[in-house]
Structure 1
Amino acid sequence: MRTVTGLFDDYGDAREAVSDLEAAGVPSDDISIVANNIGDRYSTDGSNAAEGAGTGAGLGAAGGGVVGLLTGLGLMAIPGVGPVVAAGWLASTAAGAAAGAIAGGAAGGLIGALTESGVDEEDAHVYAEGVRRGGTLVTARVEDSVAPRAEAILKQRKIVDPAARRSIYAQEGWSRFDENADPYTLDQVDRERERYRSMMP
């Protein structure tokens, strides 16, 4: 098995990537999505979303089963990131418990879950920081033979190049994700999104 991961600046692109992976035959149980939910933007996106993300609410369904991963979105809080909507195995592992458990200490868990599944640690820090700054992370566990197709699906949906993004962050003095940092405010996230939008060709 291999883990393929993509960070997206646009939540819509991430949603489409999840749908494309499912359409390509990747089981919902093997896909995860974690999206920054500052400003409560996506709380009504899934049928299991509930109030209380800012204080560490329950995660909701871990997988969407036959109806798809995105219908299983739940709310949780990640230290250093703030409120997120999330679903899937990575979100459950990061929360340190099965679906429905109370989220706590999930930031280190997110990086740990990524690295334990084969994601490079430097990239894992970029991914966590990317979510902190308003992004969405999509991760899938796939058979080795399916990995090239899964990676191509993510690339079709405008994934962030982690090396390029690390370079941008480093120019601001950033070196690694800090779970003790204050989460970004809605205004900061909006500015961050606008900055990356202006970099698009």
Structure 2
Amino acid sequence: MKTVSGLFDDYADAQSAVRELVQAGIPAENIGIIASNAAGRYSPESGAAEGAGAGAAIGATSGGAVGLLTGLGLMAVPGIGPIVAAGWLAATAAGAATGAIAGGAVGGVIGALTESGIDEADANVYAEGVRRGGALVTVRSLSEPLAEQAQMILRNRGVDLAERRAAYESTGWRRFDEQGEPLTQTEIGMHRDRLRSEL
């Protein structure tokens, strides 16, 4: 069994990857997504539910990409700020938020990702990517053939993680800070502009 992940600068690209994963035969309950909601695109009025419970439950029970992508839960996660989440990552994000409020989720989102098999250095880049306005799609508990197929889909649609890590580190970043202040939409835009200029 294996867990694979992909980071996306744009939520629409992450949605497309989720649809492709489901079309490839990967069960929706194995797919999780968290995305920045710093721009406030999603709200209860848009159909996203407050709290991750709805996102986790709908993503796990409705089956298919449509159920997963419409079952978004809204919440705030320490260090990242406002997010939308669905599938197993919705429950993970809720646990991170609850633990932080209670004063003690060890590792929060980073811990949840590493416990599912993601390398800690990669988990830090993924969390920072979401903090900077991106989206993370993670597929867990796969057989080797499905894991390879999922990795190919995520690699083809997502950002190159090594390049992104290098871009972050070139500005002095070393790791995701769960105690840090979430970025504003203006700051996210500045980070994206800098990344585009480096490409």
TM range (shorter): 0.7 to 0.9
Q: Secondary structure at the match of 1:38?
A: coil
C-alpha deviation, 1:90, in angstroms? 2.3
Q: What is the aligned-residue identity percentage?
A: 58
C-alpha deviation, 1:156, in angstroms? 2.3
1:1-201 map, 5 Å = 1-43=1-43, 47=47, 49-50=48-49, 57-62=51-56, 63=59, 65-66=62-63, 67-96=66-95, 103-105=98-100, 108-141=107-140, 142-157=142-157, 159-200=158-199
> Quick check: 2:85–2:93 contact (8 Å CA) kept in 1?
no
> Quick check: 1:34–1:86 contact (8 Å CA) kept in 2?
yes
Q: TM-score, normalised by structure 1?
A: 0.85
Letter in 2 for 1:73: L
Return the alpha-carbon distance in structure 2 between the equivalents of residues 46 and 111 of structure 1.
29
Stretches of 4+ aligned residues off by more than 3 angstroms? 42-47, 197-200
Considering only aligned residues, what root-mean-square deviation do their CA atoms show, in Å?
Answer: 2.2
CA deviation vs aligned residue, 1:65-92 (integer Å, no higher than 9, x gap): 2343101111011101100000111221
CA deviation vs aligned residue, 1:76-135 (integer Å, no higher than 9, x gap): 1110110000011122124229xxxx7442793211111011111000001101110111
C-alpha deviation, 1:33, in angstroms? 0.5
Return the alpha-carbon distance in structure 1 between the equivalents of residues 151 and 167 of structure 2.
23
Return the alpha-carbon distance in structure 2 between the equivalents of residues 107 and 60 of structure 1.
24
Number of equivalent positions = 189
Return the alpha-carbon distance in structure 2 between the equivalents of residues 104 and 29 of structure 1.
23
Q: Which structure dedicates a bigger proportion of its chain to helix?
A: 2
Which blocks of at least 5 consecutive residues in structure 2 are unaligned?
Answer: none
CA deviation vs aligned residue, 1:15-65 (integer Å, no higher than 9, x gap): 100011111111111101100000212337974x135xxxxx454231152
